[in-house]
Each structure stands twice: as structure tokens, then as C-alpha cells.
Structure 1
Amino acid sequence: MNKKFSISEGAISSHKCCLCGHLLSVAPIMSAGLENELYKCGRCNKVKCQTYTRTRLFEDVAQHLSFPCSYTPCDKKVAWGSVEKHERDCPYRTMKCPIYYHNCSDVVRVENLLEHFKDRHSKNIRPIDSIWELNIQFDYVFLTQIDNNYFLVYIMHLEEIFSISVLATGRSKYSNFSVKLLPSTDDKFAVYFDDLPVVRYDERSHCYMCIRKKCNEPHHPFAKRNSSGEIDLSAFASKLKKELIDSVKAPDGNLRYRITLKANETSSEHHGQPTEEEEEKEECEEEELCANISNIPADVNGEVLRRVLSCPYCMTYMAAPIFTCTIGHTICNVCRPRLEKCPSCAEPLGRSRNYALEEITKDARVPCQYDSKGCTFAGSTTKMYIHEQECSFSNLLRE
């Protein structure tokens, strides 16, 4: 009878993303290779850095595992492929204060964002659907609230582009907003912008310091200039021409704003804002998927992981050190000295190692390759290498 593989939580948590510090639980998982143990998770996929190789074998193992949420005290175990979605909507989700350009480095739970602003940044709280008078020469980040939902309003003046964006910190029925710009002295002249999209806030993409090229966070994609020479504001909703703003601003640079949020009257599916029924269904499907991970049939689970943890050349289980080619295919430490090229793709074999897979093989309990003949032994890949040399059931296979 085929035994199932088992992998300890210690093996899962032993390696983390070198940029954001989270577990390697979001694809693609990239390895820097060579003699270091640097890995980059899929959350940091947009961050450009040194050359990385995708560790597909680790991903093959990970899809059979469940991972803990990154936010404490959340104790939910999440299936591979659902981690990023869960963390985006986790009730314990935290975020770095968006006013950190004023030297505020606090990390705040999203549900406590209003209390934090009241305590540290009370001047940056503004009521929605009211007139705000501001000077166009400066940038602003405000917090506003409606129906227990928090929104960040970014008002930025960047070269020839003027941007007003409304960013939802969580799920919300408000999918669009409108802006009315008024001169400070006369209401007869105004500029309207209607049906601008409300964007879901992402700390990495909507970092004010990144836009100003002053960010020191290693896991943030630093703002770069696109081919036209303009600041890249692709993550933001609205980019307004400076000429329109100049037509209504006062001589001293003051301008009055009136921002109105609009609820989505059509199906929430089109705007990425699920209804309560859709949200409940998603949670049930996620829980069922996570629960079924431990119930994968032994022959399916075992054969997939047997392939992943076996050397493609000698077909025996691999143990540390596990080497890789330039593409990312693995080779065991016994076969590596005998080969110059990868048996899977013929690419050169170097000194790069798959440290994440090595950690898994240390704690993984794998079945003997002769389990179909009746062998019941299970152990680490290192013990299995020794056992299979002497396994009494190997003679049955030869017969």
C-alpha cells in the first residue's frame, strides 16, 4: 500500500522571501542560486533585482501543502494558490501608515486605521462629499470614511500630470467616484471628472515615497519613468492634465475639491467587489480546498511528490546538497560530479543549489520505492537512501 508523504511546518517556514520576509507561499518562487539562500516570493514579483531562477519543483511540492496566514493572530491555514487572496482580505491585515513621509513608521491593523489617524494625523482626516480647500503646489494623503469603509485619497502634482485617486483599504460597494474642482472665489466655473474608478489599495504599488523615488522598502517596486519620460502612475486611477487644473485654480494656487463616491448598482462581479453571498461561497470553497489537501489520494500525492523529490538521472530520492542547472532543474549530490550538463534540458550544471527543497527533504517522511511490493518503511530522504540499498523487497522486484 502506497504511503503518503508528510512534511513538517518547520520545513515550510525555514525559508522566507529575502525582500518582504513572508513565507514562500505565493508563486512564482524565484531563487538567486549560487552559494546563497536568497528566495523571492510572488508578492515581490514586480521588484526588479538580480537574476533569479524559478524553483518550479518547490512549487510542485507547495501545491500539496497549506500555509499559515502572514498576519497574527490569524490562525487560518490557507491552500497554495489562495494565500494572496486571503491575505488581501484577512481581518487581521496590517499596513504601514501611508503618512510615513511625515516620519510615521507605525504598522497599523486596517480596522484600526481611523483611530491611528485621530491619534497621529488628525489633520489628514477629511469627510467625504464636502468641499476641501487645498493648495495645488503640495501633495496630500487623506483618510475618509463612509459606511464603515476606509478610503485613502491621494492628491499629487507630478510635472505635467495632476492625479486624484481614491483607494479602498478593503472590500467596498463603492466602485467609482467623481471630482468637482472649483476656484476658491467663484462657483460659476468648475471642472468635473466623473466615473473615475475606485482602486483597491496596495501598499507596494501605492507607496507615496516610491513615487517620489525616496522609498527604502526593499519589497516595494520603485517608481520608474516610462518610455515617454513621465512618472509611471499606472497603479493609480486618474491622471488629469495640468492645463485643466490651471484653468480653475486661484492665483495663490488654492483650489477647492468636492469628491463624491458612487455605489455600484450593477453586479459586484464586474468590479471585483463580491456580494455577501459570493464572499461566503468563496470562503467555503477555500476551506474545502484547504481541508482536502490532507485527503489527497495516496497514489496521486505520493507519485507527484516522489517525482519532485527524486533525482531525474538516477531516480533515487535526493538529499542535501541538491544542485540545479541554470534553468532550475535539480540533480542529486551523487550524480552531480559525474555530469557536466543537466539530464533534463542539457543546460550547464553549476554550483547553484535548491536550498528550499533541501529543507523539505530533511523533514519529509517519504515511503520506500518498494512500498507497492509491501515495504512499510518511511523516513527522511537521507534515511531512505540507506534503507533502499538493503530493502528486502527489492529482491521481489528483480524476481
Structure 2
Amino acid sequence: MDIEQSQNQNLKCSVCNNYLNVAPVMTSDDGTVNKCGRCLFREPILNNRNTLYESIGAKLNFPCAHEDCTDRISWPEVQKHERSCRHRKIECPFWNCRDKGLDFVIMNDISHFETCHPGSLHKDKLTLSLQNVTHLQSFMKLLMVNDTPFLIMVHCIKFGEMVLIGVYNFDSKIYDYEIKMYSDQHNRRYLVFKERVFLYAEDQHCLYCLQNICELQTHRFSKKYPDMQKDKYKYYAKIDTMCTKNVLITENVLFEIVIREKQDVKAENSSSER
């Protein structure tokens, strides 16, 4: 059964005004306030889970939250579709952007980055030096691979003893990325770190949150939610800089980031299950 855009407001989240189509769905004692799973960490705190609604909702198809999208999405696919929808608009994630507040469809148009952030736009692969990483501390890059954009976040913690690297995509395909670490003098000696690419989510992937200075109520790892802080590093590869320098026998490590689409994901999953 399909839910139409014009149907009952009672099917909407009282916090974000999206449909109640992401579990867990929580409700107030009198049933007048409802909250979807997107807003679980946000106020008001509700203690009653509406499992009856969830069981009914699991049989429904919901409209996409993004303007111009006519797709109807089943309950289990809602969050994945919302983050990979071809009509999805995002606000520029770069700090101090002059066009902050302007939303655009990144999958269709990267002219904003070409105009406003040309120094952060790279093609095919990205190479960074540890010296620059520890000097800058926190920064973002946009990497174009086969005309597909990927957002890369880099952040140092513990005074540069640990480097966090996160890579995020905006479409429905499955990707992995590889970090090749090698000496700037002895490139025959290297280490390889492999990790998955995550779908970009504004409420979870934020450098201000990593620095513990974000105060946005809509961000899951904002300083407003101290109980969530323990999970904020889970979307990042963690590289021990001292250990890496000792293994590679160098003070300046080079990081080369390469992104690849995963092929035949179903076959790989069935193989791992066996």
C-alpha cells in the first residue's frame, strides 16, 4: 500500500516532519507526540516504542522526502534511499563557505566546488603527506572518481598521534577505499589499509562534531549530546601515526587514497555466509 504526500499529519514525525518510516518510532504517553528513528537522540525524550505502528508501517510504501522524487520506498529501504536519492540536496559541508545555506544536488552539479573550493577538488586519487595532515589538523576534500563525487574528511586527535580518515558517497552503489601508506623516500615499503565507503549523512559526518565544537541540535554527535560521543569515530579509519612511521622508517608518511566500486556484492555476501 502506498502512502501519499497529502495524507494524515499523524504519520509525520513531530521533530523533523518527515514520515514515521524509520525505526524505532517513539510516542508520548497521550499519543500526541511521535518521533522517528532519525530523531532518536533529539528532544523530547520519549520512552514508549510504538511497535504496533512499526508492524503496520513495515507493510507500507512511503513517498521520498526529497523534492522532485516520485519514488515510493518500502520501510527497510527508506534511509538508504534518502541518502542516495538522485534528487537529494545537501548544504555545502565545507567550513566558512560563502554559499552556506544554499542547497544543491551534488550528484548533478559540482560547479559549486569548482567555484568556491577549487583547492579542495581532486580527481581519480588523493595523495596527502603526514606533515600536512598534522599541520592542518582537520580538513575536507572532494574527490571525483569516474565523474562520481566522494567527500573525504581528515581529522587528527591526540596531538597528531592518531589520524582519522572518512570517505563518503552520495549514490546507491557500494564502494571500498584503500589507503596506501608509504615513505616519501622508500616507496617499496608500504602499508595498506582497506575500509568501506559510507553513505554521507549530514547529522553524523561533521568535522565540527569531531572537534567537539558543534552545537547543532540536528547533529547526532554534537556536544549537546554527550552520551553519543563514544560512537562518533566509528565511521573513520584510524591510523596510528607513530606506529606507521616506525614501520616505514620515515618521519613523513604519504597517504594515497583510492576508491573502487565493489563488484558482485551479492556473490561476495553469499560466499562469506558459507
Contact 1:210–1:222 (CA<8 Å) still a contact in 2?
Answer: yes
More strand per residue: 2
Q: Give me the whole-angstrom Cα distance separating, in 1, the residues matched to 2:107 and 2:4.
A: 33
Picking from 13, 16, 23, the partner of 1:17 is 13
Residue 82 of structure 1 aligns to a residue in which SS?
helix
Q: Give, in angstroms, the shift of residue 121 of structure 1.
A: 1.5
Check 1:197–1:240 CA distance in 2 against 1; reply closer, same or farther (3 A cut).
Answer: same
Q: Give me the whole-angstrom Cα distance separating, in 2, the residues matched to 1:176 and 1:111.
A: 19
Q: Give, in angstroms, the shift of residue 115 of structure 1.
A: 2.0
Measured against aligned partners, the alpha-carbon deviations of 1:137-161 in whole angstroms (never above 9, x if no partner) come to: 3211100111122111111101242
Picking from 123, 127, 130, the partner of 2:123 is 127
Residue 110 of structure 1 aligns to a residue in which SS?
coil
Check 1:121–1:24 CA distance in 2 against 1; reply closer, same or farther (3 A cut).
Answer: same
- Mapping 1:164-243, distance limit 5 Å: 164-172=165-173, 174-183=175-184, 186-187=185-186, 191-222=190-221, 232-236=232-236, 238-243=237-242
Measured against aligned partners, the alpha-carbon deviations of 1:103-130 in whole angstroms (never above 9, x if no partner) come to: 7333221313522211222221122335
Q: Give me the whole-angstrom Cα distance separating, in 2, the residues matched to 1:72 and 1:157.
A: 37
TM-score, length basis structure 1: 0.54
Q: Give me the whole-angstrom Cα distance separating, in 2, the residues matched to 1:71 and 1:153.
A: 24
TM-score, length basis structure 2: 0.75
Q: Which has the larger radius of gyration?
A: 1
- Structure 2 residue 82 is matched with structure 1 residue 98: no
Q: Give, in angstroms, the shift of residue 72 of structure 1.
A: 0.6
* Amino acid in structure 1 at the alignment position of 2:163: F
Count of residues paired in the alignment: 258
Q: Give me the whole-angstrom Cα distance separating, in 2, the residues matched to 1:197 and 1:88.
A: 16
Q: Give, in angstroms, the shift of residue 73 of structure 1.
A: 0.7
Aligned identity (percent) is 21
Give the corresponding residue for 2:113.
117
* Amino acid in structure 2 at the alignment position of 1:164: I
Q: Give me the whole-angstrom Cα distance separating, in 2, the residues matched to 1:94 and 1:115.
A: 14
Q: Give, in angstroms, the shift of residue 175 of structure 1.
A: 1.9
Residue 112 of structure 1 aligns to a residue in which SS?
coil
- Structure 2 residue 37 is matched with structure 1 residue 42: yes
Residue 85 of structure 1 aligns to a residue in which SS?
helix
* Amino acid in structure 2 at the alignment position of 1:175: D
Could you say what the CA RMSD is over the residues aligned between the two structures, in angstroms? 3.6
Q: Give me the whole-angstrom Cα distance separating, in 1, the residues matched to 2:3 and 2:227.
A: 45
Unaligned runs of 5+ in 2: 270-274
Residue 72 of structure 1 aligns to a residue in which SS?
coil
- Structure 2 residue 67 is matched with structure 1 residue 72: yes
Unaligned runs of 5+ in 1: 273-399
Structure of higher RCO (CA pairs closer than 8 Å, 6+ residues apart)? 1
Q: Give me the whole-angstrom Cα distance separating, in 1, the residues matched to 2:268 and 2:88.
A: 22
Contact 2:221–2:232 (CA<8 Å) still a contact in 1?
Answer: no
Contact 1:124–1:142 (CA<8 Å) still a contact in 2?
Answer: yes
Give the corresponding residue for 1:56.
51
- Mapping 1:1-399, distance limit 5 Å: 10-14=6-10, 16-33=12-29, 37-45=32-40, 50-100=45-95, 102=97, 104-112=100-108, 114-129=110-125, 131-133=127-129, 134-137=132-135, 138-159=137-158, 160-172=161-173, 174-183=175-184, 186-187=185-186, 191-222=190-221, 232-236=232-236, 238-244=237-243, 248-250=250-252, 256-264=254-262, 267-269=264-266
Q: Give me the whole-angstrom Cα distance separating, in 2, the residues matched to 1:55 and 1:19.
A: 16
